[in-house]
Amino acid sequence: MKSKPILSVNNLSTYFDMAEGIVKAVQDVSFDLHRNEVLGIVGETGSGKSVTVKSIAGLIDSPGRIASGEIKLLTDEFSKNKKEEYVDLAELQYERFSRIRGKHIGMIFQDPMTSLDPMYTIGNQMVETIVHHEKVSAAEAKERSIKLLELVGIPKPSERIDDYPFQLSGGQRQRVVIAIALSCNPEVLISDEPTTALDVTVQAQILELMKDLQEEYKNGMIFITHDLAVIAEIASKVSIMYGSYQMEVAPVEKVYKEARHPYTYALLSCIPRLDIKQSELLPIPGQPPVMMNPPELCPYLPRCRRSIEKCKKVLPDLIEIEKDHFVRCNNPVAKEYLVKEKTE
């Protein structure tokens, strides 16, 4: 029997009220995240992936707002008898949310230079986080910080803890950000494109580190990226987003071998692959949608090669077409076509 999800997001919609209209950045997003599971969220710029995780972490400021939906975290933070129960983060006030963020939900951002305060040593920043959430002294927090720096691969951590961010390389700064995110052993770890600002060699090192740490801490991880190759390396389940909606949600092997949504299929057709024969790479025509007052239709419709008459009238729901395989499409790619393509 599968355990309860540590995080359950149901029909989440996040809007931004602008003078020109409403930007519907995220619409009707749902997923469950279990302990020791990595959910990858893939999408191009503007698809809504980063706004989704910022909504979960309580980082949506005015004019943004969570328009509807639930974000349920399984935690004992507000329980008098320390029994785990679901708390709807979408309804928490700032003061109560500050007890969740950092302790129960850790965040790793894509640019470590903007994540770390250049005016304080990395030790000061790590100790401050631990003391704020845990009932420990500054000395104990510093000792834990040194152990964390050693865990993430910082050489001579007892000396480097007094360094300022500018004294570290880009890869080392990102390792420090990971250490801070893990400092209170959060149940959920959110990684928002953590390797984007790093060169390829360092990217591989950081990905390997995150995989090892996730297995050791056994927390649930949400990994945001626009790189399908990265998702194949680290995720167990993937959610493909486009134009604020989830287009396809499935185990990562299913997405690569049996992509059923035309957008997912088109994404995979854009990159060289060794598992199928490709005579050419096929770019996706057109441009991404503008999310200011969008029409209530599939956002991929203007670029879709498989659109039918129904697509011009009805926005499809995200439905389960096979076990654990969900697709939002009126005319999904047929499995028979996928099998034929692989054998040609």
- pLDDT for residue 338 is more than 70: no
Please enumerate in sequence order all residues whose Cβ is within 8 A of that of 30, keeping only pairs 6 or more positions apart, or say none. 9, 10, 11, 12, 69, 246, 318
Q: How confident is the model at residue 344 (pLDDT cuts 50, 70, 90)?
A: very low
96 contacts: CB under 8 Å, gap ≥ 6: 78
What local confidence, expressed as pLDDT, does residue 44 receive? 87
* CB-CB contact of 259 with 248 (8 Å): yes
Q: Which residue has the tokens 């893939």?
A: 42
Q: What is the residue whose two structure tokens read 């096929």?
A: 282
Q: What pLDDT is attached to residue 1?
A: 52
- Calculate the alpha carbon distances from 201 to 43, 214, 260 in Å: 23, 20, 33
- Residue of higher predicted confidence among 209 and 342: 209
Residues of the chain with CATH 3.40.50.300: 7-240
pLDDT digits (tens, 9 = 90+) for 105-118: 998 887 777 788 89
Q: Helices 200-217 and 170-182: crossing angle, nearest 10°?
A: 20
Q: Which residues pair with 325 in a beta bridge?
A: 322
State CA 101 to chain mean position distance.
Answer: 15
Residue listed under structure tokens 């995720």: 235
Long-range (24+ apart) CB contacts under 8 A made by 139-147 are 144/183, 145/179, 145/183
Q: Contact, 186 vs 206, CB < 8 A? A: no
pLDDT beyond 50 at 339:
no
pLDDT at 142 over 90: yes
Please tell me the predicted confidence (pLDDT) of residue 340. Answer: 44
- Give the Cα separation of 318 and 315 in Å (integer): 10
pLDDT tens, residue by residue, 59-74: 998 999 999 999 999 9
Fold exhibited by the domain 7-240? Rossmann fold (3.40.50)
Q: State pLDDT tens for residues 214-266.
A: 888 888 999 998 888 888 888 999 999 999 999 999 999 998 888 999 999 88
C-alpha to C-alpha distances, 338 to 268, 335, 341, nearest whole angstrom: 12, 5, 5
- Indicate the pLDDT class of residue 277, thresholds 50, 70 and 90: low
- Mapped onto helix, strand or coil, the DSSP state of residue 20 is coil
Residues 6 or more apart whose CB falls under 8 angstroms from that of 131 comprise 137, 138, 141
Between CA 126 and CA 145 the distance in angstroms is: 6
How would DSSP label each residue in 91-143?
G--HHHHTTTBTTTEEEE-S-HHHHS-TTS-HHHHHHHHHHHHSS--HHHHHH
Element (H, E) at 240: strand 237-242
Does residue 149 have a pLDDT over 50?
yes
Q: What would the mean pLDDT of 188-192 be, rounded to a whole number?
A: 91
How many other CB atoms sit within 10 Å of the CB of residue 278?
A: 14
- Residues of the chain with pLDDT > 70: what percent? 94
The candidate with the shortest Cα–Cα distance to 90, out of 49, 52, 39, is: 52
Give the model's confidence band at 335: pLDDT under 50 very low, under 70 low, under 90 confident, else very high: low
* Structure confidence at residue 202 (pLDDT): 81
User: What rounded mean pLDDT belongs to the chain?
Assistant: 87
